[in-house]
A and B are shown apart, each in its own frame.
Chain A
Amino acid sequence: MSDSINTYLDKSMQEIASQLVDIAKQSGAAHADALSIIDTGESMDVRHGKLESIEREDSRGIGLRAFIDTGKGLAFASASTSDVSEKGLKQLAEQVVNMANISEPDPDAMPPIGAEHPSADELIAWQVKHPHQAHGWSTEQAKEAALSCEAAALAYSDKISNSEGASASFGETSIAYAASDGFVAGYERASSSLSISVIAGEGESMQRDYAYTRARIAAELRNPAEVGQEASERTLRLLGASGLSSRTTTVVFEPRIATSILSHLVSAINGRAILQKRSFLNDAVNEEIFPHFIHISDNPDHPEGMGNRLFDGEGTHCSARNIIESGKLTGFLTDRYAAKRLGTKPTGHARRGLTGDTGIGTSNLILQPGSEDLHAILHDIHDGVLITELMGFGINGVTGDYSRGAAGFLIENGKISRPVQEFTIASNLKDMFANISHIGNDLTWFGSMAVPSIAIANMTIAGQS
């Protein structure tokens, strides 16, 4: 499908985005920027060796943000449409300008002019370093991959009693951005993925787990059979899970689960949340919020990351940044507005959708691994719980209070003893960050995040008695 992105358009989306910015200015906007996203792709599910569903996607949208000068500062609004005809663009521009007239002006508003854009040379260098790659799968190849993934999972053991199926998907996203200071740029991104979920056991003792692989191009995906076997291995080890008694103990998050700890950190150092006093880390800049052996960085150009980008949602140049240095928080993550209000430099973390206000998002977030393997960590912990699954949304971003459902394995005398479920783990994120006792050497990539195992002391487990 790589040739289909612009099949029905006689203009490139970069041209259309620039045109929309001009139309907005003609309609009364003082400043404007436009973002367009085109997604094409296919996904399919197979189950018990047969194709179960196939889906083809073809979507296109353009979003406009327009600022008007009210005399008391700039006011802005945003809207999106899938109609990119000249008439559609004109309607969109008029709608946004009308809506901006309703918005209250903000003396700190940051219109899309004067951002620290990448230079023309940097744009070219980026294209050379990251040439457009097709995802590299045909429908038939993707189906074969899903079938062999499921077959390997089912063949792994007699105890695998059912399959929820394997899924394969591939596609391309094309993004274009234009701002009223003349900056226009675009890039394309391919992606492919393969996932599987299987069930072991019967009736009320059933357990399930999953495994997946994600990459830009299909050739970089893990071997389908290996993914299938991983899902079965993970599922089988859960069989016979039972409850455990309440206790306060050390909890080990395996890498897949440990990603959530980084997500909670990112939410708490989001510059917009800081402005709104919605974070438990409001006063934490330059504080040691983690132990000294914790280093966390955001790298927008990493060979293994799925979140590579040259510029953010406002066209601000992105560069690598240490977020946590030897346990210390270096600063908040900002777009241009939050940076202005906080009196700092924009960090290139503006995240935009087609419509709505600017948010904050990281590129590739990496927690630097330690030197111990999981075996050594468990040995050191002696007694605790290894968490392989978390459920629910029990996080209070204002206070940091944390309470989530969990499942995993009891650690007794430095070894995994039995699978456990139906319990919760609770603490406060501030304490959890400070109480990290071990970091594994098992750095694992999950799309745009790379995390090793993390052990956290002093968490409360609520169980059955």
Chain B
Amino acid sequence: MNLSTLPSALPIAPEILQKMLNAMIPADADDADLYLQHSISESLSLEEGRVKHVSASTAQGIGARVIKGEVSGHAYTDRFETAALMDAAKAARAIAANGHIKKPLAVRPLASPHSLYLNENPMQQVDLAQRKALLEHIDQLARSIDPRVQQVFANVSASFSHIHIIRMDGAHLSDERPLIRLNVSVVVEENGKRETGGAGGGGRFDLTRLIDTNEAERLTREAVRIAILNLDAKAAPAGSMPVVLGSGWPGILLHEAIGHGLEGDFNRKGSSVFAGKLGQRVAAKGVTVIDDGTILDRRGSLNFDDEGTATQRNILIEDGILTGYMQDKQNARLMGAAPTGNGRRESYADPIQPRMTNTFMLAGKDKPDNILASLDEGIYAVNFGGGQVDITSGKFVFTTSEAYYVKNGEIQYPVKGATLIGMGHEVLQKVSMIGDDLALDPGVGTCGKGGQSVPVGVGLPTIRVDELTVGGTEA
């Protein structure tokens, strides 16, 4: 088959795409592709009791990429005039030393390896007026739950991205990627003291799931609960102590502490503290960590990555031993490994990087109650804001948004947000108990790397870490 049989949804004429390919692939290229994207997104925001603002964007563009050895050339444009497209194709191949061009390709459609989510616009069943009503309901509900609620902010956003990847081997894959998210946050006030709390959720599914379930109500109650709780929060302790992490979103520990350090680019270049540690113990016995891009409907899932490689379930750490890195095609080739379906880009305008999908620890056998009861004195942290890592020294941080001071196995009082800091190559070796309650996060994770943001998921059972530094103010 040739390009003329590609789906009609292509916003660029097939013969023009063929012309770009014909002009851009050097004879000695290791890889090349075109990445064509059309995305729509809509967002409604409520504040001060009113949906004051509705916004939308439509973006389309094409990225052309050529790879040879360690070198890559990338050009993109959102102008679909032929001259602009050919400029991009020629710019992508500017890395090639010789002028020879690979012979034209036989482009053929390739079926998607998975069907993990809806392939329709997630917005079409729920119009803007219904979304507005949902936000107004959240506002009223939040205010009715507790009179201390002073401000309610709610946002519902949805996007639908249509991707075409045309690989050097002629395979043409296309994917339709829905993504929705609902966020609720409140400001509460009591005796002149203000606090805030928030909750969110989402994934690759239709907006009807927010309307037909009690998800909006659950998130609203959660946001109010956390804000009220924080009104009574005392200063967190300062210093090194045992920490019990709750299940679900606290899995951000894995994302920061070891996830980034196991991305192929950093290990090929030797800049990660985990470089050269394959086969070595990096975590306590019983710790198994997975990155899985194939979980149904999840925010971090993809039918195939942004290079057209099928996503899969990759074991990163098995029973404490480092077993694998996450790879895109270029880093896999240079390291003599197989691609793992982790080559991702924020959009056509960005280069490919090895990135995480959904990263979690498998459940153990301990009962969560027993894990908490084991804590003589320390912190029990069940919810977090963001985190960050330095993959070279291994330092990582993540900041609590709901945490408690625990003494003699009993929760004493909630503590203010505190940053926890540790070393990625040490922290999992200090895991001494693993709960039987693995949970994935509610669908709120966004990961930043080299200026690119991509949606990700995390998961964790309740675990006990024998030692972490807690950044409170109570010496």
Contact = CB atoms under 8 A, between A and B. Distances in A.
A393 B386 contact: yes
Contacts of A423: 421, 469, 471
A394 to B, nearest CB: 4
B273 A204 contact: yes
Given A78-B53, A398-B196, A56 B239 contact: no
Nearest to A4: B87
B417 A401 contact: yes
A465 B70 CA distance: 45
Given A404-B397, A462-B238, A426 B74 contact: no
A53 B72 CA distance: 5
B56 A79 contact: yes
A1 to B, nearest CB: 10
Interface stretch (B205-213, B387-395, B406-414, B437-445): B387-395
A407 B392 CA distance: 14
Nearest to A208: B392
A403 interface: yes
B380 interface: no
A424 B195 CA distance: 23
Contacts of A427: 473
Interface stretch (B88-96, B354-362, B365-373, B452-460): B88-96
Given A56-B91, A58-B78, A399 B195 contact: yes
Main secondary structure on A side of the interface with B: strand
Interface stretch (B2-10, B43-51, B314-322): B43-51
Contacts of A405: 388, 395-397, 419, 421, 471
A421 B240 contact: no
A237 interface: no
Interface string A80-114: 11110000000010011001101110100000000
Interface residues of A, number: 81
B78 A403 contact: no
B338 interface: no
Contacts of A356: 43, 53, 55
B470 to A, nearest CB: 6
Contacts of B22: none
B349 A59 contact: yes
Interface stretch (B58-66, B174-182, B290-298): B58-66
B72 A162 contact: no
A311 interface: no
Contact of B73 (A53, A207, A246, A389): A53
B168 interface: no
Interface string B249-270: 0000000000000000000011
Contact of A392 (B47, B73, B388): B388
B421 A208 contact: no
Interface stretch (A44-52, A179-187, A366-374, A375-383): A44-52
A58 B79 contact: yes
A292 interface: no
Interface of A: 7-8, 47, 50-61, 75-83, 92, 95-96, 99-100, 102-104, 106, 139, 162, 164, 199, 203-204, 206-208, 241, 246-248, 275-278, 354-357, 389, 391-394, 396-399, 401, 403-405, 407, 421-427, 460-465
Given A56-B76, A162-B269, 13 more contacts: A47-B70, A50-B70, A75-B52, A103-B52, A104-B132, A276-B187, A277-B189, A391-B390, A392-B398, A392-B421, A393-B388, A403-B399, A463-B469
18 contacts: A7-B83, A8-B84, A56-B91, A60-B79, A92-B58, A99-B54, A102-B132, A103-B53, A276-B153, A278-B196, A391-B390, A391-B397, A392-B388, A405-B421, A422-B469, A423-B471, A426-B471, A460-B238
